[in-house]
Amino acid sequence: MAVPFVNVGAVTLHYEESGSGDAVVLVAGTAARGRTWRLHQVPALVAAGYRAITFDNRGVSPSDPAKTGLTVDDLVADTAGLIERLVGGPCRLVGSSMGAHVVQELLLARPDLATQAVLMASRGRPDAMSRALAAAERALYDERVRLPGVYDATTRAVQNLSPSTLQDEQAVQDWLDLFEMSPADVTDAGLRPQLDVELDTDRLAAYRRIGTPTLVLSFADDVMAPAARGRELADAIPGAQYAEIPAAGHYGYLEQPDAVNDAMLTFFKG
């Protein structure tokens, strides 16, 4: 079966779609494949009567590699082009982490392409810890430091999961096994530019111009994008709704999928 690709300007993106009805485009975070949405969110959307479209951002194979100097505006243009090619008009948007950053900026640059938006694990401004985390990730890649698999898996678990999950012995072992099977590839030059796509300036004032109905969805135990930053983002977007998922870390859409899907679908029905 042919792998579906779409050409957006000079970039070729890999995508997948399921279901029919109104389109929902889901934008993944840094280094994440579009298929991560297919574990829980795509089945829920299809069951609710939506057409779910996921894709791999440039830098994530089999989409084109990213080049040095990649910006959020580049990823916004990619997403907008994909929507124009596959949907042909406005649609619902969902993003997590870097994907939410892309959606936020798209709501400003191309509001004509969005009817509703869900921003997960996001923020509207950087702080000392977010800057430090971004710098640490870049240093890890630039030094080509290949961490032992067990260390990489354990660190990722602590950074991205809720303490509630980490206290469940079977759950944490399942997550550690998963992380060990998919280690960070510090040799992937096509992925490295994504690490420069960080929220490095205060965008809260700009986001006060967003007119698209928006749900900001934070995860109570998220150390990468703390819930306080999400609430701040929701307060800046006129009319935005805010919801906080308990017992969830940065990977909350995978960790607490039922609660996330319920919040997302309830908002879409609103």
| Active site members | 97, 222, 250
Burial 118-129 (b: 16+ CB within 10 A, else e): bbbbbbbbbeee
> How far apart, in whole angstroms, are the C-alpha atoms of residue 133 and residue 128?
9
Distance CA 212, CA 153 (A): 38
Distance CA 110, CA 87 (A): 14
DSSP 161-229: S-HHHHT-HHHHHHHHHHHHHS---TT-TTTGGGGG----S--HHHHTT--S-EEEEEETT-SSS-HHH
Burial class (CB in 10 A: 0-12, 13-18, 19+), 205: exposed
Those residues with Cβ within 8 angstroms of residue 44's Cβ, 6 or more apart along the chain or in another chain = 257, 261, 264, 265
